Amino acid sequence: MKKTNWVWSVATLGALVTLSACGDSNAGEDSQEISFGATAGPYSDMLTKAIVPGLEEKGYSVTINEYQDYIIPNRELANGTDDANLFQHQVYLDAFAENNDLDLASLLTVPTAPMGIYSEAYQTLDDIEEGIEVAIPNDPTNGARAFLMLEDAGLITFKDEIDPLTVSIQDVDENKHNLQFVELEAAQLPREVGQKPLTAVPGNFALSAGLDLTTALELENMADQYRNVVAVRSEDVDGQLAQDIQAVIESEEFEAVIDEEFEGFGKPDWMEQ
């Protein structure tokens, strides 16, 4: 009897150890810690309000690392400090990764604050006067977006066969109101609202400065390559975390938060289908 009891006890103990080990493994997965990078402002808010809650329901413990520039987040993603980030559009991601020899990839686009034309001098673009100054971003990417928006508003026309990603003042064919373009750093543009008759302000800088997107005289019809993306390391693009992030962003709960909390944000094509 004693021998039988000893054998039973060992077998039982082995089963308990096995179950305990499985339980520990699941607990580790259920509380997997990840870090998500974002620039301070609307996209950090989007993580907090619309993405992190869904990831927490899937068992993740999420730390949001906020950055004040557009250089550090991708470096921190590439070196493993962050597991994903949200702050940049596809054009910037591709250029930065190539110029810095980083192996990064995008998962999907998200609703993005559009560039807008703001004014304290005019109620509509129909009221503008001849020869007024228009402040626009001086970097090629955002500058191109500003010129495309001015074309959509009917204020300028372009020469034939332009590249929409690189269009500039040299591509302007007709300037109907003889607008005077003043090129400035994008971060400075919110301060020009009220100083210049018209100012084209990228959405993230507009929101950070307390501007209301819905008060813009014109909002850009944003191409998807200018909408912000969730980025990960290329090696992780098919991993479980990437799949879970995509599932959260494609959920009805995510869209409901966007509709309620991020008024004026333009939705990507996949959300409009």
Task: Please write the tens of the pLDDT for every residue from 96-139.
Answer: 999 999 999 999 999 999 999 999 999 999 999 999 999 999 99
Q: What is the pLDDT of residue 264?
A: 92
Specify whether the CB–CB gap between 145 and 226 falls below 8 A. Answer: yes
Q: Which two tokens stand for residue 3?
A: 């021998």
CA distances from 19 to 13, 28, 102, 170 (A): 10, 14, 42, 70
DSSP states of 178-236: --EEEEE-GGGHHHHBTTBSEEEE-HHHHHHTT--GGG-SEE----GGGSEEEEEEGGG
**137: nearest Cα among 196, 83, 75, 181:** 181
16: left (phi over 0), alpha (psi -120 to 50) or beta: alpha
What is the radius of gyration, based on Cα positions, of the chain?
25
pTM across the whole model: 0.80
Burial of 207 (0-12, 13-18, 19+ CB in 10 A): buried
Specify whether the CB–CB gap between 113 and 203 falls below 8 A. Answer: yes
Q: What is the pLDDT of residue 161?
A: 85
Q: What is the pLDDT of residue 4?
A: 38
Q: What is the pLDDT of residue 141?
A: 87
Q: How many Cα atoms sit within 13 Å of 108 on the Cβ side?
A: 17
CB neighbours of 229 closer than 8 A, spacing ≥ 6? 86, 88, 89, 90, 93, 106, 107, 108, 109, 110
**107: nearest Cα among 237, 258, 262:** 237
Beta-bridge mates of residue 183: 136
Q: What is the pLDDT of residue 31?
A: 60
Q: What is the pLDDT of residue 3?
A: 36
Q: Which two tokens stand for residue 121?
A: 């001098």
Which residues of the chain have a pLDDT value below 50?
1-29
Beta-bridge mates of residue 112: 266
H-helix segments, the chain: 2-30, 42-46, 52-57, 72-78, 90-99, 140-152, 189-192, 203-208, 240-249, 252-261, 269-272
Q: In this structure, which long-range contacts are made by residues 124-128, counting pairs with CB atoms below 8 Å and at least 24 apart in sequence?
A: 124/217, 125/153, 125/154, 125/155, 125/217, 125/218, 128/155, 128/177, 128/197, 128/198
Q: What is the pLDDT of residue 16?
A: 34
The overall average pLDDT reported for the chain is 89
